Structure formats: structure tokens, C-alpha cells
Amino acid sequence: MKFDILTLFPGMFSGPFDESIIKRAKDKQLIDISLHNIRDWATDRHQTADDAPYGGGAGMVMKAGPLASCIESVKSCQPASTVVLTSPHGRRLTHSVALELAQRSGLIIICGRYEGIDERIRSIYAEDDISLGDFVLSGGEIAAMALVDAVTRLIPGALGSVESAETDSFGDGLLEYPHYTRPPEFNGLTVPEALLSGNHELIRKWRRKESLRKTRSLRPDLLSLVKLTREDRKMLTEIEQEVASDV
């Protein structure tokens, strides 16, 4: 998959994209990442890429000209790629959105800065808007990193294990169950007996129930979005009874 990132600060990506899963995916040629400095398409000697907003107000706005030229240059080389704007106006990045974007042949990600971009860029070029959530970042670079990471994990071969991606939190709509490793006892806390039993069915049931328990406790809104089985509903009833008995 091809990622083209349009940014005023390409140096921000040198660390996150040179480590761990993204680095391995690049080494395997599963993904290709290109950084494009928007200032390179500015026409004045100062490489100006922002200007004061019409109507007044604080801050600066990214100019349409350099950004449009940058988009068109990249798009001409990657015509099948989807132009994505990182923006608080966008739809929230969720697991299902990441799955959808992972099916694209490529993403051209525009990193906003300052007070934002000239709205005409959104009108003419943006094919999708993605937001990390209802909070403010200094720019779209961190959002772009998160987007690339979330999508890369879903590309076959990137993790080395399909099961790992499928069992992550939100993989099936629920939060993931708790994990434990050696030693079996730490600071007086022990590993649940089910995980030490060697009984695969018992382990499966424990993990599913704890996944439901954690989701019910931390993100109950997700339960209404998941297709629950009869076993799931029975487990939720047991969890409700357990919680009631602890009160």
C-alpha cells in the first residue's frame, strides 16, 4: 500500500516510521511511505505556505496554492490513491474505518496546521476527512502517524499473525481481554486459574467473558453495536449478577 503524506514538518515522521511494525512492513515492501514538504510547491523565495485569514482573527491559514500544487503533483503519480484530510471535522478513526481504508490502493494524507487549511482545498480535493477524536492537536502530523499505523496493522503480513490483528481491542467490536505472562504471582496478584489450566475451551470462555466484562465496564456503548451470541448474553447476565453481589 502506498502512503503519501503532505506536511509542513516532514522531520516529525523520522522516528515513528523507522521503528517497529511500520519499519518491518516497509522492509517487507508491504507499504511504501513518501513524505512531501508542502513548502516545496510555494512560488515565492520564502516558501510561504500560510497567510492571515480573511475576516480577521488569530492565527494563520494554510494557503490554497502551494497545497493544491502539491496534491496535484502527488495525485498525478498515484491516481488511484484517496485524498484524506486530517481534520476535526472528519469522521472518527475507528477500527471499522481503518479496515475500510486498508482496502484502498493508497492514501494521500494532508496534514493541516495552524488554524486549518483554505476551505477550497477541502471542496476541490478532499475525498475523506478523518479525526482522531474531539480534542485539539498542534497539527495533523500526529493524526497521520496514527492513521498509517492503524491501517498498516491490517495489511496481511504486517503483523506476522492474522490472529493478532483479529483479537486486538475493537477487532470484534469489543475491548480485548486482559493479558498475563510470567511470573504466575506478582506483588500478591496471581494469574487467573483458567489461563493456567491448559484447557483451551475454558481459556476461550474466560477470555470472551473478560472481554465482555471490560467492555461493559469501560465502553458499554459498544455492546449495542456488537452482534451478541446466546453465550455472550448468558455471560453478561452472569457478570451483572457478580457485580450486584459485590455491591
Is residue 208 part of the annotated active site? The answer reads no
Print burial letters for 86-99: b (CB count within 10 Å at least 16), e (below 16).
bbbebeebebebbe
Q: How many CB atoms lie within 10 A of CB 85?
A: 25
Dist. CA 109–CA 160, nearest whole Å: 26
Summarize the chain as % helix, strand, coil (round to 5): 45, 20, 40
Dist. CA 234–CA 241, nearest whole Å: 11
Strand partners, 106: 2
**DSSP code, position 182:** S
Considering 128, 129, 149, 168, which one is annotated as catalytic? Answer: 168
> Residue 23 carries which side chain, given as an amino acid letter?
K
Is residue 153 part of the annotated active site? The answer reads yes
Is residue 115 part of the annotated active site? The answer reads yes
Query: Cα dist. 81→6, 37, 122, 128, 176 in Å?
Result: 13, 18, 16, 11, 32
Considering 88, 104, 149, 178, which one is annotated as catalytic? Answer: 88
Is residue 53 part of the annotated active site? The answer reads no
Considering 115, 128, 129, 176, which one is annotated as catalytic? Answer: 115
Considering 10, 118, 122, 153, which one is annotated as catalytic? Answer: 153
What's the chain's Rg over C-alpha atoms? 23
Tell whether omega for the bond before 66 is within 30 degrees of 0, i.e. cis.
Answer: no
What residues are labeled active site? 88, 115, 153, 168
